[in-house]
Structure 1
Amino acid sequence: MKAVSVSSAAISNAMRYSQTRMQVDLVKAQKELDSGKVADTGLALGARSAQAVNFQRDLDRLNAIVDSNALVAARLKSTQDSLGQIVSATQSLVNALTVAVAGDAPDSVTAKSGSTALQSLATVLNASMNGEYLFAGTNTDVRPLDDYMSPSSPARAAFDAAFLSHFGFAKDDPAAAGITAAGIGTFMSAVVEPQFLGAGWEANWSNATDQTIVSRIALNETTQTSVSANNEGLRKVAMAATLAFEAFSGNLSEEARKAVAQRAQALAGEAVADLGQLQSQTGIIQNRVSDASTRINTQIDLFEKHILDLEGVDPYEAANRVNDLMSHIQTSFALTARIQQLSLLNYL
């Protein structure tokens, strides 16, 4: 028979090693209990871990699109609200011009209506969200519209220069009272219209791009998710408001002012119709974004279910494992403390 010596130090070291292992296992068990998934995917799944990684990658992509769609939806809502404000301001201008055509409004009131519409247009089109201008097209960091009412406005300078070049005198010159309806009509069609509906708009008014923002709202679907200040309806609003302001703040004859009011009224009416159509198109895009997010959320639920089937742990089993390990560790600590108190001196 071979005698084997056993010392308290050997027992203590063995207990210490066992405690270390149990503490490592406790950390893993606690992680599984908190997350509901295995602590080490590769160890638990083996060859199937690649499938779990692919599922997680696709899930991250879908979650990123949903987050992006939330920002897109917020931008579209702000755009709709802004368009509604412009329509309201344009409708007020239409009402003022209707009264002016009938000859029942003071010139100063009609001019004020034009300047108010211009100021509202500049304020709304220069609105920003999250540091990006809503109506700037792809130039989201550039203010899309210059303020016509500013003394340094290039658009205002271009209008005054065009008037002076066409008639030979300024609009506030006494000679302006001799301009006929036909004369002012030719000026509006040949000179003013190109400044708004032609190349003059981008040269003097707008810093926006015709190209709008295109966003991916699903894995296989993209759509335009912004409105440019270069939209024709917005140009018509600017032209109608400018004509109202300029014609009724100068020295034009009553005949010429009435002709301008009629043209501006028609333009503003067309603008309201155009903006209504633009609101409808924006609403359709809003619905597309919402529907895409709903479909993606359904896909996310499926991916999460597949991932849980692969990596999930039984919460009751995980809780029992944590409790057992904690109980064993506490018992081990107690035994280690008792062993460390053993001394031959206690028996002498």
Structure 2
Amino acid sequence: MKTSFISSAAVSQAMRYSLVRSQGDLVKAQKEVSTGKVADAGLALGARTASSISFARDFERLNGIVDSNGLVSSRLSATQKALDQITLAAQDFLATLTSASSGDALSAVTQASGAATLEALTALLNSSFNGEHLFAGTNTDVKPIDDFNAAGSTAKAAFDAAFLAHFGFAQNDPAANAITKPDMEAFLISVEPQFTGPGWQANWSNATDQAIVSRIALNETAVTSVSANNDGVRKLAMAAATISDLLSSEVSIAGQSAAIARAVTLVGEAIADLGTLRAETGITEKRVTDASQRIKLQSDLFERQILDLEGVDPYEASTRVADLLSHIETSYALTARIQQLSFLRFLG
């Protein structure tokens, strides 16, 4: 009979190898517990890995659209609030103009209302959301509207030049006190292209006519922004600018009356145009919401398919983690005991 010996170093080394494997298994098991999926899909699924990758790709793509739609909905909501405030300002302005046309409002009150409306309109059109200007069309990094009353304003300079060219004198010239109603009506017709024509983008607006188009579903897009070049905005700007400017000048009562009458028409049309714009924005909001709901249903289906392929039993995974932890603790204890074994200690 032959006897042999086993080295304590060899036993200790074997225990270390076992410990390393257990620690690797523990990392995988803990990952499965935290994610609810297998740690290595390729190893667990084999040939079915391609299906899992395809489902995951579609799942992420759908979730990306849902996230994008969330930003689009927030931008549309902010736009809708701004349009509501513009409409309220226009309605208040129209009430003042109506009183002025019937002789119940002072000229100074009407002029102040026009100035306040123009200031509010400019501020609201230049509002931004998430670092992007809401009414700039695709030119979202630039303020869409220049301040009419700011120093060096091209819009104010163009308006003054048009007045001078038409009448031969400035608004504050005493000769303006002789302007007749037909004269003022003719001037307002001549200056209108500065607002409703090419002069708007030349002197007032930095916005683009082209709006932002967003993909709200895999096979659906929508116009998801509003431009400051909208007809209602232009008409309201013309009414507010003419009243603000002409009623603070030497223009005659007859001329001011003609300006007020034209402003009443413009503001009424502007309110109607803004109402249409608000309705269109609301319809787009609803489309985005509905699209997100449909996509979430599709996303849930893909998620269930992925879980069917890669999902693990959470209770089984937790039990495996506990067993591995117990095994590792035992291995540490045995390794420490083996390392304490010594022939000299035995002889002692």
Distance in 2 of aligned mates of 1:289 and 1:33: 36
Equivalence for 2:205: 206
User: Does 2:160 align with 1:165?
Assistant: no
Equivalence for 2:328: 329
| 1:271 alignment partner AA | A
User: Does 2:98 align with 1:80?
Assistant: no
Distance in 1 of aligned mates of 2:204 and 2:120: 15
| 1:184 alignment partner AA | M
Equivalence for 1:305: 304
Structure 1, unaligned stretches of length 5 or more?
Answer: none
Q: CA deviation at 1:104?
A: 2.3
Q: CA deviation at 1:103?
A: 1.8
Equivalence for 1:69: 69
| Aligned residue runs from structure 1 range 1-348, under 5 A | 2-189=2-189, 191-348=190-347
TM-score, normalising length: structure 1: 0.97
| 1:30 alignment partner AA | Q
Distance in 1 of aligned mates of 2:163 and 2:330: 98
Q: CA deviation at 1:11?
A: 1.6
Alpha carbons 1:177, 1:251 under 8 Å: kept: yes
Distance in 2 of aligned mates of 1:174 and 1:344: 122
Distance in 2 of aligned mates of 1:146 and 1:347: 95
Deviations 1:132-151 (A, max 9, x none): 11100011011100101113
Distance in 1 of aligned mates of 2:299 and 2:184: 63
| 2:78 alignment partner AA | S
Q: How many percent identity over aligned positions?
A: 61
313-322 vs 228-237, which deviates more? 313-322
58-67 vs 249-258, which deviates more? 249-258
Deviations 1:189-237 (A, max 9, x none): 1x11111111110111101000011111111111011000000000000
Residue 321 of structure 1 aligns to a residue whose secondary structure is helix
Alpha carbons 1:215, 1:225 under 8 Å: kept: yes
Deviations 1:128-187 (A, max 9, x none): 112111100011011100101113211111011001001111122121122211111111
Distance in 2 of aligned mates of 1:75 and 1:24: 48
Q: CA deviation at 1:53?
A: 1.0
Residue 145 of structure 1 aligns to a residue whose secondary structure is coil
| 1:306 alignment partner AA | Q
Distance in 2 of aligned mates of 1:87 and 1:203: 25
Structure 2, unaligned stretches of length 5 or more?
Answer: none
Distance in 1 of aligned mates of 2:173 and 2:97: 24
TM-score, normalising length: structure 2: 0.97
Q: CA deviation at 1:344?
A: 2.6
Alpha carbons 1:171, 1:252 under 8 Å: kept: yes
Distance in 1 of aligned mates of 2:180 and 2:344: 127
85-94 vs 247-256, which deviates more? 247-256
Distance in 2 of aligned mates of 1:132 and 1:99: 39
Alpha carbons 1:179, 1:253 under 8 Å: kept: yes
Residue 192 of structure 2 aligns to a residue whose secondary structure is helix
Q: CA deviation at 1:2?
A: 4.8
Deviations 1:253-296 (A, max 9, x none): 22222121111011101111110111011000001111111111
Alpha carbons 1:115, 1:149 under 8 Å: kept: no
Distance in 2 of aligned mates of 1:93 and 1:333: 83
Residue 212 of structure 1 aligns to a residue whose secondary structure is coil
Q: CA deviation at 1:122?
A: 0.7
Alpha carbons 1:86, 1:120 under 8 Å: kept: yes
User: Alignment length, in residue pairs?
Assistant: 347
Residue 137 of structure 2 aligns to a residue whose secondary structure is coil
Alpha carbons 1:126, 1:135 under 8 Å: kept: yes
